[in-house]
Structure 1
């Protein structure tokens, strides 16, 4: 495995980022599930409960991703990163709500289990793929010197 990592440093770095992102995401997911189900149990509607639960998890995810998952990447300003993080999470939340809304309003599945599967499994899964790509591409970009070094090392075909 070390030999593979030495021969493919970009892939090894990506795998490490995926692992850290997954760990942060798992903690944020537990926060989101707990808050969402607590709110649903307290009588909040399915979509509004999903929104509030997701907002709680976004706060946890920002701290973990900024300081741990992508801690070695360029710092482009706290305000810029926060704004982009919120925008990308807004898109991720829209993906979740679209999945849940489809389940509730089109398929007529409005039970707690159906809400969890549609919003918290399918929606979060698709939204997570989008978020990982968005965070590493736009929110926490690579340091300019790392990009230049990588381009200098790649052989010309």
Structure 2
């Protein structure tokens, strides 16, 4: 099989795909930020909880809403074969991001002595920014992994299997090969978007 431009996207195509992914990640993240800050503000002002407790509660609610956006909108085309693994990794990396965010907030409140609500929100923004960078890298690398492209050996095995199933009808093998090629192309185009 000849290598085409579609199977080996150029650097510009890869960057366009990554920038589109970053924009979608940002939109889901922005909705999570709105949820996060709304819950934080209610906890700190309405319920009069301490800032770190308020931050943890707000972040946990945002993590739940973000998972839905990432799984069912942004990374819907990614491998979902093992949801248990995916959710476990998502919660692990989200928890690490929450620790980064809460650590920055705790440092600003307890070490720097920033005690007004506006100062705490500003510290939360800084922590959220650091946590977001960490989450973007970890989610796309380890949590929502791309479906692997079929190798030449896998294509050959599929052809051989199709030929064994119907040796008198070579067209069946061609159909199986075409289906594998179409599946691989859909994956490649999804990555480029």
TM above 0.5, yes or no, is yes
Alignment map for 1:67-146 (pairs within 5 Å): 67-119=72-124, 121-145=125-149
State the superposition RMSD in angstroms. Answer: 2.0
Give 5+ residue unaligned stretches, structure 1.
Answer: 150-157
1:32 aligns to 2:24 (yes or no): no
* 1:146–1:107 CA distance, 2 compared to 1 (3 A): farther
Q: How many residues in Structure 1 have an aligned counterpart in Structure 2?
A: 144
CA distance in 1, matches of 2:37, 2:90: 20
CA distance in 1, matches of 2:27, 2:148: 27
* 1:73–1:50 CA distance, 2 compared to 1 (3 A): same
CA distance in 2, matches of 1:147, 1:96: 41
Deviation at 1:141, TM superposition (A): 0.9
* 1:139–1:7 CA distance, 2 compared to 1 (3 A): closer
- TM (norm. structure 2) is 0.70
Q: What SS does the corresponding residue of 2:129 show, helix, strand or coil?
A: helix
CA distance in 1, matches of 2:151, 2:118: 45
Bigger CA radius of gyration: 2
* 1:90–1:146 CA distance, 2 compared to 1 (3 A): farther
Of residues 55, 62, 67, the one that matches 2:60 is 55
Give 5+ residue unaligned stretches, structure 2.
Answer: 1-8, 153-184, 186-193
